[in-house]
Amino acid sequence: MLDLDFVITVDRTLMTNHHGKEFIGFMTTSPAIGLPEFLWMWICAPKPKCDKYGRPREAPYGLRKVEAALQEAGFKAAVIDPDYLDKYLTRAKALLIGHHDFFAFCAPSNTWWAVTKREPVNRKYFIKLMESEPVRNFKKRGGKIIIGGPAAWQWLHVEDLWEKWGVDCVIDGEAEKIIVKIAEKVLNNEPLPRYVFVGADEVPSIDEIPVIKAPSVNGLVEIMRGCPRHCRFCSVTLRPLRYIPLEKIEAEILVNKKHGVNHVLLHSEDVLLYGADGVRPRAEPLIKLHEMVLKHAESVGWAHVSLAAVVYAQKNGRILSKLTEMIFSKTGQTFIGVQTGIETGSPRLAKIIMPGKAAPYKADNWPEIVEEAFAIMADVGVVPAATVILNIPEETPDDCMKTAELIDRLKPYPSLIVPMYLVPMGVLKDKRSLLNFRIKPEHIEVMWKCLEHSLYWAPKLVEMYVKEKRNFAVRGLLSLFIKFVEWKKKGIEKKLKEYLEQVAEGALEHKATAVEAVAEQK
């Protein structure tokens, strides 16, 4: 085995490449539905290929960044698959764990939990990791546990588990600089800070962000950090905006390619804003970026785009068409899947919580922007997985009705639409709001519209997305799951009606099941 002082890992729901299909990874935010859990996990989180030392061929991008920062600083550190921890934690000095959603507090995990009343597998497998024998024995002999990643804030709500598992330090924010200082303290046996918040003036500069040393899951590479739209519910906008230079992006693509990962997934909060003029996409930097990527990639994906950027890019020089034509002609792809946010169909609510999301257009026109963007994406071969947000503090029944009406108008366009309960982040961050929320009758209407829309398109999208022969079994099981949900629709509808009757009678108030369940772990 390797001689490591710092072991970096995460539970199985993230230490996987999801059969090379990153969007299948969203199934880890749900409990197993209609299938045995072992099959559910095999679909969404199969074990990765590892070398003889337990180093995964592909690992989550955030873990790779921490690994690179520590290695560049001269520390003995590596990402290790959780199944190999027993071989390293007998002598390592620190265990580093990063996660996107430790306790299923984030959307869509919290929504799945609320609707199904069952524990999502991401939380279930994280708890399993923390209570595993190698980790328990590691703490007994005095090893340090350091937590980080996008969901680090969740630990502020579970101080009982913080104590129970002996977590020594939580790093909330971009970790590339601070982790080196923390590692020095570990080796010098100095006390660790219990909680570190990395503010905007403490984030790493472009020069201080290291290039990954080993492959990322599905070839993900970061092209920018931060977002200029400043939506009130989002924490990403609290970070300063930085564009990653092409040479750094290319260097990471080459790391992935060297190890046989030939897909490139461009990651940012809005790929179309790379090199933009504020919120206005510019053709030149986007075309240069894709020309470079296409010299190396067998296929290309985009993590996120904003709908206003889609409209602006297409109306001003057909930028979106040019990019997709470049990608399709070079790779043989027929579509690109992306994440995007509808969030609401109400102009009133859009003006309150996300006026910048419509920019450079007016928030008053948000529903029309959404519909136009969906039409454009359908024309150029971009398939969105979109979110809508429920339980926003200023929300009214009329706002939800407008969201439901907008979803109806989006029916002609290939897409998935997922309802999510608000996670109070950004300037809306509030512990009480996280712990308590109600499912209201108007939310049920929006959820039902989302279910009908997604079930209409899901069979076609599965055939498009999971078409390779090697994924025949995955495609078959996904299709079986869709048929199961369709079969259960009538039963779901009946339960929803019963639920609405209980709510109308004032007999039912729903609390965030995830948090209640965590409290029961005391």
DSSP 265: E
Max mean pLDDT range (202-211, 238-247, 492-501): 202-211
What average pLDDT does the segment 86-90 reach? 97
State yes or no: pLDDT of 436 exceeds 60. no
User: Which of 396, 391, 386, 395 lies closest to 423 in space, CA to CA?
Assistant: 391
State yes or no: pLDDT of 512 exceeds 90. no
Do 98 and 66 form a contact (C-beta atoms < 8 A)?
yes
Do 510 and 439 form a contact (C-beta atoms < 8 A)?
yes
Do 270 and 232 form a contact (C-beta atoms < 8 A)?
no
Q: Kindly state whether residues 274 and 129 are assigned to the same domain.
A: no
In-domain check, residue 246: yes
C-alpha 118/C-alpha 29 separation (Å) is 11
Q: What is the pLDDT of residue 426?
A: 42
DSSP 364: G
C-alpha 308/C-alpha 310 separation (Å) is 5
Sign of the dihedral defined by the CA atoms of residues 457, 460, 464, 469, in that order? positive
The boundaries of the domain holding residue 286 are 215-484
Q: What is the pLDDT of residue 204?
A: 93
Do 423 and 110 form a contact (C-beta atoms < 8 A)?
yes
DSSP 17: -
In-domain check, residue 490: no
Exposure string of 476-497, with b = 16+ CB inside 10 Å and e = fewer, is ebbeebbeeeeeeeeeeeeebe
Q: Kindly state whether residues 480 and 361 are assigned to the same domain.
A: yes
In-domain check, residue 253: yes
User: Which of 456, 420, 457, 413 lies closest to 437 in space, CA to CA?
Assistant: 420
In-domain check, residue 23: yes
CATH of the domain at 344: 3.80.30.20
Q: What is the mean pLDDT of the chain?
A: 90
Q: Kindly state whether residues 173 and 273 are assigned to the same domain.
A: no
Q: What digits encode the pLDDT tens for the residues 308-359? A: 999 999 999 999 999 999 999 999 999 999 999 999 999 999 999 888 899 9
Q: What is the pLDDT of residue 259?
A: 95
Q: What digits encode the pLDDT tens for the residues 12-35? A: 999 999 999 988 999 999 999 888
Q: What digits encode the pLDDT tens for the residues 391-407? A: 888 899 999 999 999 99
- What percentage of the chain has pLDDT greater than the value 70? 89
Q: What is the pLDDT of residue 179?
A: 97
Of 143, 165, 197, which residue is a domain's last? 197
State yes or no: pLDDT of 519 exceeds 50. no
Sign of the dihedral defined by the CA atoms of residues 304, 308, 309, 315, in that order? positive
Q: Report strand pairing: 220-222 vs 263-267.
A: parallel
Do 204 and 171 form a contact (C-beta atoms < 8 A)?
no
Q: What beta strand segments (E) does 111-254 contain? A: 144-148, 169-172, 195-197, 220-222, 224-225, 242-243
Of 78-82, 223-227, 369-373, which range is least confident? 223-227
C-alpha 413/C-alpha 402 separation (Å) is 18
Number of Cβ within 10 Å of residue 313's Cβ equals: 27
Of 77-91, 165-179, 396-410, 422-436, which range is least confident? 422-436
In-domain check, residue 499: no
Instruction: Tell me the two tokens of residue 363.
Output: 């928030």
Length of the chain, in residues: 522
State yes or no: pLDDT of 175 exceeds 90. yes
Number of domains in the chain: 2
Main-chain phi, psi angles of 225, to 5 degrees: -125, 145
Give the neighbor-by-neighbor strand order of the sheet with 263-267.
Answer: 220-222, 263-267, 299-302
C-alpha 248/C-alpha 252 separation (Å) is 6
Q: What is the pLDDT of residue 517?
A: 41
Q: Kindly state whether residues 312 and 164 are assigned to the same domain.
A: no
In-domain check, residue 184: yes
Q: Kindly state whether residues 122 and 238 are assigned to the same domain.
A: no
The more confidently predicted of residues 89 and 468 is 89
Between CA 292 and CA 296, with CA 293 as vertex, the angle to 5 degrees is 100
Of 95-104, 435-444, 511-520, which range is least confident? 511-520
Q: What is the pLDDT of residue 107?
A: 79
C-alpha 287/C-alpha 320 separation (Å) is 10
Q: Which amino acid, residue 43?
A: I
pTM of the model: 0.91
Q: Kindly state whether residues 12 and 148 are assigned to the same domain.
A: yes
State yes or no: pLDDT of 469 exceeds 50. yes
C-alpha 222/C-alpha 226 separation (Å) is 11
User: Which of 261, 344, 255, 328 lies closest to 290 in space, CA to CA?
Assistant: 328
C-alpha 150/C-alpha 101 separation (Å) is 8
CATH of the domain at 91: 3.40.50
Residue 121 burial (10 A CB sphere; 0-12, 13-18, 19+): buried
Q: Kindly state whether residues 292 and 165 are assigned to the same domain.
A: no
Q: Kindly state whether residues 372 and 274 are assigned to the same domain.
A: yes
Q: Kindly state whether residues 45 and 112 are assigned to the same domain.
A: yes
C-alpha 116/C-alpha 211 separation (Å) is 41
The more confidently predicted of residues 433 and 292 is 292
In-domain check, residue 34: yes
Q: Kindly state whether residues 85 and 224 are assigned to the same domain.
A: no
Q: Kindly state whether residues 242 and 374 are assigned to the same domain.
A: yes
Q: Which amino acid, residue 486?
A: E
Residue 483: HSE in the Cβ half-sphere, 13 Å Cα cutoff:
7
In-domain check, residue 187: yes
Q: What is the pLDDT of residue 293?
A: 98
C-alpha 294/C-alpha 353 separation (Å) is 37
Q: Kindly state whether residues 186 and 231 are assigned to the same domain.
A: no
